[in-house]
Structures are given as C-alpha cells and as structure tokens.
Structure 1
Amino acid sequence: MVQPITAKDIQQFKADFKAVPQSNVIKNTVMNSGFLASSQNTTSKALMDPVFSIDLDTGAVSNQKQSGRCWMFAALNTMRHSLQAQFKIKDFELSQNYTNFWDKFEKSNYFYENVLKTADQPIGDRKVDFLMTTPQQDGGQWDMLCALIEKYGIVPKSVMPETYNSEKSSELNSVLNLKLRKDAVTLRQLVADGVSEADIQAKKDTMLTEVYRMLVFALGEPPVEFDFEYRDDDHNYHIEKGLTPQTFYQKYVGWDLENYVSLINSPTADKPYNHLYSVEMLGNVVGGREVRHLNLDIDDFKQLAIKQLQAGESVWFGSDVGQSSDRKLGIMDTKIYQKAALLNMDLSISKGERLDYGESLMTHAMVITGVDIVDGQPTKWKVENSWGDKVGTKGYFVMSDSWFDEFVYQIVINKRFLTPEMQRIEKEEYDHPTVLAPWDPMGALASR
C-alpha cells in the first residue's frame, strides 16, 4: 500500500517536535555546532588517558599523507618495530612507495584477469559492475601485503622514497583507472570476437607494459640491487652492499609470513565462528597468497591480541575508524559522542546488524602497541596510527575496550598464539575455505 506524507501528517510531526523537551535549544546547538560537537562527552576524554600497563616502545609514527595506504603502512610498521630494536635504528622506516608500486602493478594484472574471467557476462551483471566500479585503489588487506613481500621483498625508505603521487594518490588512481577501464573494453571485445588466447595474452602484455611505464613516471622505478647505509643509535656506521629486496627482507626482517594468520570478528548469521573464509575476486598478486580469514568470537579475538602484546610484538588490525572517533584528540570510544541522548531516540544497532545493513565495515588499518589491563580485563588499547604526529598523542590514539568490541573487525596474529583447535581449523580448511561474495563486508579494503 502506498502511503504518501500528507499535510495533516506534517502538522502532527511539527507538534511532536515541539513536545520534545528543550527542542529549540537542541536545534540551535546542533545547527551551530553539528551533531558530534553538540553530543561530545567530556568524561570520555578523562577515561581515555594514554597510560597502559603493557606499552611497547615503537618510536615515532609514520605519515601516509593524502593516500589510502594505511594497510601497507600498518603492516610495514609491525615489521620495522622489531627491526628498530634488533639493529638499534630509531624511527627507521621501510619503503611504502616500493610496495605501493608493485601493488598497483599487480592489481592491474589482477583486474585484467578478472575482466577475462567475466568477459562472457553482460555489462550490468553484478560482478562485472563490481569490477568496473573500482578497477584498483590504494586500499588492501594483510594477506595482500604478504603476497607482495613474498614475491618482491622490501627495501628501506631511503632506497625508494615517497613521491608526489605516492603521498597524494588521487591523480595516479584516476589516470590508472581510466586506462584499466579502457583496456577492459578492449579485452571484452577480443573475447567476444573469438580471438585466440595467445593473441589476448599478447595484448594484455602490451597493456601491462604501459601500466609499468605509467607507474615508473609516477612513483619511480623499483630498485633491483642497492647498498644499505646507516648509523645506529650508538652512532656506529654500517654499510652493506649489493642487497636485493629479497635478501634485505630476509636479513633485516626475517619473518616467515606463513606463520601469520588473519582473524576476523564478524558476528553475522552467514559466517559461523571457528571457520575459515575467503572472498571472491579479492587480492592483488595473481598466483600469489590469497586472502584467508578465521572468524572468532570477540573474547578469543582480544585474548590473542593480548598474548601477542605480552610477547613484545605489536598487532596489525583493521577497523571502522570513522565511528565514534575524534581524530584530533586521538580517541576512539563508543561513549565519546552521546547522539542518542542528544536526539532523544534509540540509535542502538548490533555489530552484526551494522555489517549486514551497510552501517559499518573495515575502513582503516593501524597497529595495536599497548593495552591497559585492570583486574585481568582490558580497559583501553594503545594504537599507532599513520596520520603523522599532529593528531592524538604524537600520532598515537587511545581505543576503549568497548570500541574494540564494536568496531574492530580484523587482527593479524602469529599462529603460535592460537589454541590447538584454532590451528587445526586453519590448517584443515586452508585449501577449501568458505568463499564469500566479492561485495561481502569482510572483503572491504582498508583505505583511510
């Protein structure tokens, strides 16, 4: 039944508004200051004091500038933490631009392959539309960074520093996506015309040659071999010549990335806990490491993060940073804004409902570097962001435990901290995870 809004309805709505206590005062406040400032809870500021019972010394924060490479910065930050301590190089950074170059190059090939896989499906098909909406972007997930490192290694930031286009990525993304969409038109037409696979591959190789050229223009050419020169914190001089990105990674980081597993907390009916999931068309390196998520309940999720912190290792995590968050203060707390009280209405919605109804998903990756445990329970968490040192406490944020419950969706944990049962599930289901649709919320890319 169609039910339009009538003039009588509007008169009733006006009467209902006037019946709300202090409606005009609230109206004036919100009109002048907005919903957030009008509902900010000063008690939250006091409770989010940046003092923690477990607090890893990780040094100065990095700055991704105007790019969506948070997942990359966060992952490289977890690796540089141990590197800094072992080799006594305070505030050392790994090259985010190097991994950025190969990510965009590999994402282009990943896009071409998916275009060919869906070439028999019409424009307007949901999968085809999904591909064309964003052929590539800055965002990513942990397993995607692992795939890049396993294939290309990493280098110090001094060897491949940032450029205008890495720090301010919108122009590059716009031009590259234009090219990829044009190439998609060509590839789909070749398939429709029945052109041989060999000729299609030759055309794709030409396209990749052009992508490589574009990326070199924008980001510089990745080094094949380099010298690593530095002074440590004791002012001792070091130089090592003839390194490759792979040998540098093995010597200076040395992590076996197979030992790290992505855990998610997705309390939705379609994803039972204690099972492994992957996402269709989510990835970057064709033939490389694929995205895998082990879904756990939130209590197990948090206890594993605490175990890793207690062992002295920081924790990569993905969350919805825009929810109940004050960027300037560096506070993420479910109580920092009291919008429901301000508006005198019920705005409560569960974590699973937020995911199912599009209210929330992972948008940003950061690093947990500390936690405050009181009477055996976590109360707040220390977070290393990658937005520079002008926000929060010199770039570090404080996350309340209730915010962790509601808006943290993914963490990366060394398998040695998993229970035997979790290890069994991860091992047994690794080759046949439940495959989620490309648009599933757990396929969201961290890109803030």
Structure 2
Amino acid sequence: MSSKAINKKNLQKYSQNFNENKMKKIIADAVIKNGFNDVAMNYESITNLHYNFSEEIDVGKVTNQKKSGRCWMFAALNNIRYSISDKLNIENHDFELSQSYTMFWDKLEKSNYFLENIIETRDMDLTSRKVMWLLNNPTNDGGQWDMFAGIIEKYGIVPKYVMPESYSSSNSAVMNKILNLKLRDNAKILRNYYKQGGNLSELRNKKEEMIDEIYSILCYFLGEPPQSFDFEYRNKEDNFFRDENITPLEFYQKYSEIKMNNYVSIINAPTSDKPFHQTYTVEFLGNVIDGQKIHYLNLEIDMLKELSIAQIKNGEPVWFGCDVGQMSERDYGIMDTDLYNYEELLNTAFTLDKGERLQYGESVLTHAMVFTGVNLYNVKANRWKVQNSWGEEPGNKGFFVMSDKWFEEFNYEVVINKKYLSEELMEDYQKEAVLLEPWDPMGSLACI
C-alpha cells in the first residue's frame, strides 16, 4: 500500500528513475545553466511570426505605463488618442492623452465604490467570504473597459501636457499601499460605527468625510486634475490651433470619435457554468457607482475573431484583454502556443483546456492591449499585430505579434463597436446579466 508521506524508499526510487536516463541529466545541466525557457524555446515560432500584416493601422508610437498596472487605461486611451490625431490630422508621435488624469479619478471612484460596498455588507460577519474579499484588495491599478467608460463619461479626458505623469503615477506601489491602509482603516470605522447604532444616513456622512481626505491624499501623489484648460496643437501642415478654456468632458465630447456607449465587451469563457450568448456581470466589480456597469456577452472564440477583423478592416483598433504571461516572450514580442517545447523537454503532458485553465486557477485575464493589425490568409487570420504599453524596448518598437492559436487559447475579451454586431447579437447583449460571484475568474482585472 502506498504511504501518505514521502519516505526513504520513495526517494531512492525517484533518484534511480532520474539517474538511469542519461538524457535527463543532460537536460538538467542545460536548464540549470541557461534557464528553462531559453532551453525550451522553439525558434521556428519566432521565424513564423514576423511583423508583416495584410490589414494594418498606423497608430504611431507605443506608450509606457512603467511600474503601474494601468494597461487597461493605456490601451483605451491609445484608441481615443488615435481617433483624435486622425480627426485633427495631428502627427501620432507628438500627441498623447493623460493617463495620470484618468488614474486620479479611477482611484477616487474606486475608494468610494469600496466604502459603499463596506456599508452594503455592514450586517455580514467580518470573517464572511465576501467581506474578506473586499478587504483583500480595497483598490489597485487594474481595471476593465466598462470601468474606463464610467470614468470617461463622467470626467472626460485631457492631453498629457495638461496633467503629466508624476512619480507615483508611474511608480504606484507606495500610493496603493497608503490608499489600502487608509481604506481598511475607514472600513473598520464604518463597521464599528454601525455596530454602535449609526444609521445609514450617518454612515454615508462619515463616508463623505473619508472621501474628502482621500481626494487630498491623491492630490499629494498625482496632483489635482484641471477643471479647464487651453487645447493647443499643430497639425501635419504646421498650422497652429487653440481651443480656450475647455473642460475635460467638453474635450472628450468634442474631439473624440470614440464614444463609450457605442462599445460592448465580448468575452470568451468556455466553461459549463457560462452558456454562450448570455450576458454576465460580477458582484463588487466596478468603480463609478452611477457609471457604466460591467456587462459581458459570452460568445464562441470564432465570433471574437470575426468581430475583431471587421473592426480592424474598417480602420479602427480593438481593445482586448488576455493572459499575457502565458507562452509569450517579452524581448521578441512573441505570443504563440508553440513558443516553448515544455512537454517535449520535460517528457510530460499538460491536459487543461481553456475552460479548465479558468476553472482550476491556471489562467485569467491579466493584461489589456490593442489589436492594430491582422494577417489574413484565405480570409482566415494567422497572426495579429498588438500595440502594447510597456515602452519601445520590448518586441518591435513596443509592438508584439500574436499567433491565431494564442488568440484562441489565452485571449478572453475584445471590445467591439455595436455597429459590427448583428441584430441577433445585440439582442443577446441586451439580455439581463447573470450575477457572478466576486471571485469568479471573469472578475479578474487587467493590471500588468
């Protein structure tokens, strides 16, 4: 009978099995000296995934989120930036929108959202799973498209020169630590005040005082957002323009061709608990209380491809969310399921499919980027051009290339203009959303 514990006899057997195969020792030596990924790399993958695409959009240079988890903001702002520069005939390389501005409002709204959820769960025990879920991470840099939409529709956008990067917007760890410390402290105060007999109105009055203090804290880290500014630019013909005393919301409404309410989030979650052609939302996931709610339509992966191709062919980039750490190489900018010969090198098998990776905690959405091109062969995609936000050093001046098979296995979400959806798909999107638990894998945030 097998033992519960690993014993000496087991260890002797394991060692014998390892040492009787000389190739295992050779592989071990190679991996110990060079690292596992370098030994396992399939260089044919690199040569196959070159940077040529039949459909491609010139979106200018990539941006750099640095040491922050704002990929979802950078990706969305890159789409808006492209629409404005194209409309005004501005050189793409010379124009950028402020990510620090949207970060400020996201942090403030997330703080309010967290404290409202603390008030909402005031009758639950502190050790309940939901309360502990809230306290685990009161605020962070991550987000989703619908959360971005809520911020933009309420606060607008500004050019980067109006509110440039601060130390903490590009290096957010300390700011997040301070905010989380303050929010957990506030949560304790609110819950204790309720236990002492405080009513809902009194709790909200206390919460407003707390948000007032958090506003000041954010100003220390990021600076105070402008209420209005002068928009000044030169176009490609070197003509100068000025739009005086415009508010951030007016700027968004006037100059952005991308309007948030025209877009829908399409996901691919092939698990038995999430039928296709049904919509989903996630409890406690959001930022703006009165803003756009998380609303996903779950579709087959081929539909995500088809809709993305249609949007790219019409000259519009596609925001998407994926698990960027899976089978990808930063320096080459390659994302391919064949990139590493893991199974061959280890003489083992990995049997989880996409749905099972979600269910067993092996994979979730971690990062947001933008599709700016696709290579079509006999009408089908075989590789995708990706605009990242990690600066110009990785990949090809910051752009990555993704195999179509990688799209199938590790891409979970695309954001598509409603005009590309059929009437049937729009009817699906308008269905009442099924509420998922806070810890559902589709509640993950793009934060790398």
TM-score by length of 2: 0.98
Deviation at 1:20, TM superposition (A): 3.8
Structure 2 partner of 1:64: 65
1:40 is matched with 41
Q: How does 1:234-313 map to 2 (within 5 A)?
A: 234-313=237-316
Contiguous gaps of at least 5 residues in structure 2: none
Distance apart, 1:2 and its partner CA: 6.6
Contact 2:62–2:387 (8 Å) recurs in 1: yes
Quote how far apart the aligned CAs of 1:118 are: 1.1
How far has the Cα of 1:44 moved from its partner?
0.7
Shift of 1:21: 5.2
Corresponding position: 1:222 with 2:225: yes
Please say if residues 83 and 257 of structure 2, whose CA atoms lie closer than 8 Å, have aligned partners that are also in contact.
no
Q: CA RMSD in A?
A: 1.1
2: distance between equivalents of 1:277 and 1:401? 26
Matching residue's letter, 1:228: F
One-letter identity of the residue aligned with 2:26: V
Contact persistence 2:307–2:421 (CA under 8 A): yes
What letter matches 1:39 in structure 2? Answer: A
Corresponding residue SS for 2:35: helix
- Equivalence for 2:81: 80
Give the AA of the match of 1:209. D
Partner deviation per Cα, 1:109-165 (whole Å, 9 max, x = no partner): 000001111121112211111111100000000000000011111111111111001
Give a deviation string over 1:362-392, Cα, whole Å, max 9, x none: 0000000000011121000000000000110
- Could you tell me how far apart the structure 2 residues matched to 1:250 and 1:114 are? 31
Q: What is the correspondence of 1:375-394 to structure 2 with a 5 Å cutoff?
A: 375-394=378-397
* Distance of 1:197 and 1:424 partners within structure 2: 38
The answer on 1:143 being equivalent to 2:143 is no
Amino acid at match of 1:446: A
Mapped pair 1:194 → 2:197: yes
Match of 1:337 among 340, 344, 351: 340
Q: Which residue, out of 81, 95, 99, partners 1:96?
A: 99
Query: Hey, what does 1:171 align to over in structure 2?
Result: 174
Whether the 8 Å CA contact 2:49–2:383 is kept in 1: the answer is: yes
Aligned equivalents of 1:20, 1:88: Cα separation in 2: 65
Measure the CA separation in 2 of the matches of 1:265 and 1:66.
29
Residue aligning to 2:330: 327
Q: Return the letter of the residue paired with 2:71.
A: C
Match for 1:84: what amino acid? Answer: S
Aligned residue in 2 for 1:12: 13
3-state DSSP class of the match of 2:320?
strand
Deviations 1:156-201 (A, max 9, x none): 1111111001010001000011000000100110111111223212
Task: Return the alpha-carbon distance in structure 2 between the equivalents of residues 294 and 135 of structure 1.
Answer: 27
Q: Distance in 1 between matches of 2:39 and 2:21?
A: 17
d(CA) in 2 for partners of 1:219 and 1:36? 38
> 1-side partners of 2:291 and 2:378: how far apart?
44
The 5-angstrom pairing of residues 366-445 of structure 1 reads 366-427=369-430, 429=431, 432-445=432-445
- Tell me the distance in 1 between the aligned counterparts of 2:22 and 2:413: 42
1:348-359 pair list within 5 angstroms: 348-359=351-362
Number of residue pairs the alignment of both structures matches: 445
| TM-score between the two structures when normalised by the length of structure 1 | 0.98
Could you tell me which of 156, 163, 169 is aligned with 1:160?
163
DSSP-derived class of the 1:302 partner: helix
The 2-side partners of 1:419 and 1:220 are apart by 44
AA matched with 2:40? S
Runs of 4+ in 1 over 6 A off after TM superposition: none
CA distance, structure 1, for counterparts of residue 5 and residue 358 of structure 2: 30
Separation of aligned partners in 2, 1:256 and 1:281? 25
